[in-house]
A and B are shown apart, each in its own frame.
Chain A
């Protein structure tokens, strides 16, 4: 069991003026699968390494199971870490790589053997135990790295982009395996990725980071459906959410020129200019009379979906349609927006204008 509390964590490197991490607050419950997601340089790996003890903590407090661990060395934090490039020892066999931590900790030989074999079984590595890492495929190497983490029965797993060195197909498969492993072992896990799909599919809660600031913390559903600002709205979801300029009037949303867009999704205090966001799948085809005309610039056929790109009053938008629609470049289609699916943002602060209480539901 492992509970982690981060209070006002911050990180600053010697030579830099600005903090890399600002005021990071998060409480992690036992058995949670937390994903830190954000673009490169957002501080997600640094935060993970601070939790591991590989980076010093400049400010704030890090608590693990009620113990302040700021100055406790990595080995005493009872966690295991999986690295992006696997960090396997090229000169050791799979068995010895998995057994590495146990050997360092001077565990008895027969216990090591038993534990490694059990781990290998879980990860289907039993027939590879005598091989060296260079004789393994990328997926197998990653499993060995996972094996080194789980063999120790650590209370906390830290994973730093563990799948980004794998090809697309293998990544999906390993994603599945990690999720199952988590279900089986129930070990609290913190997982770092830049891939929003991984975040959405794996996390029990997501932490979105940008430039060292936490943007939003929430379940995948909350983050997707109720992004708190434009960054989160655009970062999570592919293709990204459409944004265009609009106006909030007391009873409806309009384009800047006054044409109606749709009804207000909720009661809103603010009126006037706003950024309106709508996800590609929340745009639907309409008939000629009621719909908004959109000239098709180009289309992308993905098999399962058809993406249609065009411009609406100067803003590029993308519409996600079922693949059986016949849409060709240059054609004019008529669209409307699914009611209640609008996201409204302040044009200056880029924060969501929808009420927080409403978000929490």
Chain B
């Protein structure tokens, strides 16, 4: 094969697919960082370099820290229940039960639906006076909060929807990981008389730990990007109680057209994601067993 043929082939196999990748991923990533040092407002054709002013104003604004707090709160309380619930569901799907695929399909079904549509449906379920949830809570004489307009409860309402939609997805991964644990290991536990908790602690949790790490990282990235449910159900409100970093970014960029500040925020989100991924990755060496 001559050199030219090789180069031509490369140009074809790598070059063509790279065009959209470069145009819509790599270049915007770089441009976004560049814009974060300007005061561009999208409408005016000119802009000035403002140095790190955008970052400084972001890092000193209460909005930013409120959004950061909301993002962490939202992330923690969606990831933890998604993972626990996903594992418990997968544990229920024991070998030898009938209708496993049917159960899996039902449990997984929420993942398939559009978040926008389901957020609308949940808005209806959350309706404070006649909504399904509060009527059910009423039977048990429990408090019936006005979910989406109460700044104490709105974030929980969004968390519930997110966990509901993703738990079945986590379950599929755990079901797969559990099926790969050799029966003999359970049998050893059985012979030694390990109870349910001991079996979880000594066998199941260590052996599915790579899956847990994978799910945590993916769910974390996912939770940072959560937008649809917030947009439909609360638009970041009430009183900014559901405004995450990403939602703040959206409002800055596409409601206020404050592109410089928005892109600075985007860069911070990227850094946050990267740092988080690195921490989880390195921290995992202590509890993940391959």
Contacts and interface: CB of A to CB of B under 8 A. Distances in A.
Interface of A: 52-54, 73-76, 79-81, 83, 85, 87, 89-92, 100-101, 103-105, 148
Contacts of B206: 89, 91-92
B190 A54 contact: yes
A76 B192 contact: no
Contacts of B202: 89, 100, 103-104
B207 to A, nearest CB: 7
Nearest to A89: B185
11 contacts: A73-B193, A74-B193, A75-B190, A75-B192, A81-B191, A83-B187, A85-B182, A89-B185, A89-B202, A89-B207, A104-B198
B196 to A, nearest CB: 12
Nearest to B185: A87
Given A83-B184, A100-B202, A90 B289 contact: yes
Contacts of B192: 75, 100-101, 104-105
Interface in B65-103: none
Name the residue in B190, B191, B198, B203 with the highest tally of chain A Cβ atoms < 10 Å from its Cβ: B191
Contact of A104 (B184, B187, B189): B189
Contacts of B189: 104
Contacts of A54: 187, 190-191
B188 interface: yes
A311 B153 CA distance: 90
A72 to B, nearest CB: 11
Contacts of A83: 184, 187-188
B172 interface: no
B269 interface: no
Nearest to B190: A74
A87 B193 contact: no
B213 interface: no
A105 B195 CA distance: 10
B282 to A, nearest CB: 18
Name the residue in A81, A85, A92, A104 with the highest tally of chain B Cβ atoms < 10 Å from its Cβ: A104
Contacts of B191: 52-54, 74-75, 79-81, 101
B202 to A, nearest CB: 7
Interface of B: 182, 184-185, 187-194, 198, 202-203, 206-207, 209, 289-290
A89 to B, nearest CB: 7
Contact of A100 (B188, B207, B209, B290): B188
Contacts of B209: 91
A91 B207 contact: yes
Contact of A87 (B182, B198, B207, B290): B182
A277 to B, nearest CB: 39
A47 to B, nearest CB: 15
Contacts of A75: 190-193
B182 A104 contact: no
Nearest to A158: B191
Contacts of B187: 52, 54, 74, 81, 83, 87
B207 A90 contact: yes
B132 to A, nearest CB: 41
Nearest to A52: B191
Name the residue in A76, A81, A91, A103 with the highest tally of chain B Cβ atoms < 10 Å from its Cβ: A91
B182 to A, nearest CB: 7
A91 to B, nearest CB: 3
B194 A104 contact: yes
A217 to B, nearest CB: 26
Nearest to B205: A91
B83 to A, nearest CB: 18
B206 to A, nearest CB: 4
A74 B194 CA distance: 11
A315 B289 CA distance: 58
B193 A105 contact: yes
B229 to A, nearest CB: 37
Contacts of A87: 182, 184-185, 187-188
Contacts of B190: 53-54, 73-75
A89 B184 contact: no
A154 to B, nearest CB: 9
Name the residue in A87, A92, A103, A148 with the highest tally of chain B Cβ atoms < 10 Å from its Cβ: A87
A83 B188 CA distance: 9
B194 to A, nearest CB: 5
A254 B32 CA distance: 99
**A-B interface, 6 closest residue pairs, ranked by CB to CB distance from nearest:** A75-B193, A91-B289, A87-B184, A101-B192, A91-B206, A104-B192
A271 B290 CA distance: 68
A90 B182 CA distance: 11
A287 B59 CA distance: 106
Contacts of A73: 190, 193
Contacts of A85: 182, 184
Given A100-B192, A101-B192, A103-B202, 9 more contacts: A54-B191, A73-B190, A74-B187, A79-B191, A87-B184, A91-B289, A92-B206, A100-B188, A104-B193
B208 to A, nearest CB: 11
Nearest to A152: B192
A100 B192 CA distance: 8
Nearest to A79: B191
A50 B46 CA distance: 83
B162 to A, nearest CB: 31
Nearest to B193: A75
